[in-house]
Structure 1
């Protein structure tokens, strides 16, 4: 679980679960409908809500919204107990039965009048060029009918459904469509736009995964035992967050001092190395400038039309900075 602000700044790793699938469990996918949620890997989403509930007691003024992709479309999650101030927002995967004349989720939402429209910039992918997609927005309060479970009887649940669908996609291109479900009241166009913005922040954890796998090379590590691997993965999880945090914080607030990210010895080593001097500046460099120097250590070219530095060059830059800082300490220890 990664904590992210509505503006997209990752605040840290809230929790992490590590498990290994027992060999005897392979081949049991066909039994998923008769197994309880606590016997499935999907229980991690329920545990995530419980984790946030515990955190809520320590941070009573904070509001928590657990955002998940289609894998988290679990009826048990919708029905799970949670305290006030702990909510969820997931992308629907199943067209669930609804207690409405239309009978099902998608049809119920489609039967409502559109609230408005918005535009989404779709990046280039493969042979498809970048384009701006026009999305029609709808929302509805839907009473969901519970699925059958052998061990328990689940209650009906009211959810707020939000649909964003592309109304005029290019020829041969599948239209963009999001169907989001939330426990947070959603009735107006502003509410819908806010929920869409919340869901868009889910991609932050994909960037975190990319740093963890490509930067920290966690999948290539060979530690000799599972316990060592788990401990190392927990450490790399925090390192990956710090790299992502550094990358995005400089974009959000350019006037911050670099000491919000770097220790004095780190920025001093960075300054002396990049500026080829032994004289420190009179003022502490800004975070934006320090991040640029870090990125250039990692191979960022800083050309006029280059995009802002990304996590990959920041990861490489931090590796170089670690070595530079060690040498800086050695040369300064007798001063």
Structure 2
């Protein structure tokens, strides 16, 4: 059996409430609150939620106020230094590590179902959006038996094929078939049916220098681009990377379907906020973590 472990991050924004600064932090655009990363189990055939697998709740640190009378030159130097410090932080200390952590925590949940050879009785397929396009995710997947990933690509990675790059190489492949996909309503678009041209092929991704000992990541790429786009609508363009076999129309359609199920976790977060009113409780970080389970 297969279980989809769909991951996503959302913000619990308490606007400009400052009386609990020790437990809240900046969330962007002047917001103030907590950050929640969730891994939700879904049925692979119909995308029905099966249960909550793992959640992590944390907050960012408030940055100190700039020195009084700071000049524009001094500000540039200070910001440059801050960016350098952030860049050189250990990977485990970065927010992006949450995707690797989610992968590890979810797999640990299924360890009790291991087969004698170390594989999992249930195959867990992790489905991530662009934030989860991290080389460490592919390296980790390769080390874990009976697990897989479907990730929307965020980076135009270098391939081993004649020094080509992901987007240029995959988009140069022939269209294999055309498929209609239902797009749910979001803040930026209305619900509609999108007609997609589908291309797919195997690719060998060169690892970043920090993982050069890992060797190339041999995965399949699936590129879906919308045609006959309605007036005023932004066309859908998805570059998906997966550890799963994609050699037929049926296999490609399955990967595409699994990726569309990722919206279920956005619906879950919406229910937390609008239905359960999670942002109305204004609890401290530890208390909110207890409430969310």
Please indicate, yes or no, whether the TM-score normalized by the shorter chain is above 0.5: yes
Local SS of the residue matching 1:17? strand
Decide whether the 8 Å contact of 2:57 with 2:285 is kept in 1.
Answer: no
* Unaligned runs of at least 5 residues, structure 1: 235-335
Task: Give the match for residue 21 of structure 1.
Answer: 60
CA change 1:25–1:172 in 2 (3 A) is: same
Find the partner of 1:64 among 114, 124, 127: 124
Q: How does 1:33-52 map to 2 (within 5 A)?
A: 33-52=87-106
Q: 1-side partners of 2:86 and 2:212: how far apart?
A: 15
Which structure's residues are more often strand, by fraction?
Answer: 2
Residues 146, 32 of structure 1: alpha-carbon distance in 2 compared, 3 angstrom cutoff: farther
Pairing 1:170–2:209 present: no
TM-score (norm 2): 0.71
CA deviations 1:117-174 (Å, max 9, x no partner) are 111244677897765432111111111112233x975532112111111133235543
Give the deviation of 1:71 after TM superposition: 0.7
Larger relative helix fraction: 1
Mapped to 2, the partners of 1:158 and 1:171 lie a distance apart of 38
1:231 lines up with 2:231 in the alignment: no
Structural mapping, 1:1-335, within 5 Å:
1-6=39-44, 7-23=46-62, 28-29=82-83, 31-59=85-113, 60-80=120-140, 81-101=142-162, 103-122=164-183, 131-149=192-210, 154-171=214-231, 173-223=233-283, 225-234=284-293
8 Å contact from structure 1 (residues 142, 161) kept in 2: yes
Q: Which has the higher contact order (CA 8 A, sep 6+)?
A: 2
TM-score, normalising length: structure 1: 0.62
Unaligned runs of 5+ in 2: 1-38, 66-78, 114-119
Q: Deviations over 1:298-327 (max 9, x none)?
A: xxxxxxxxxxxxxxxxxxxxxxxxxxxxxx
User: Deviation at 1:203?
Assistant: 0.7
SS at 2:58 equivalent: coil
Q: How many residues align?
A: 232
Residues 69-98 of structure 1, C-alpha deviations (whole Å, 9 max, x = no match): 111011111112542211111111111111
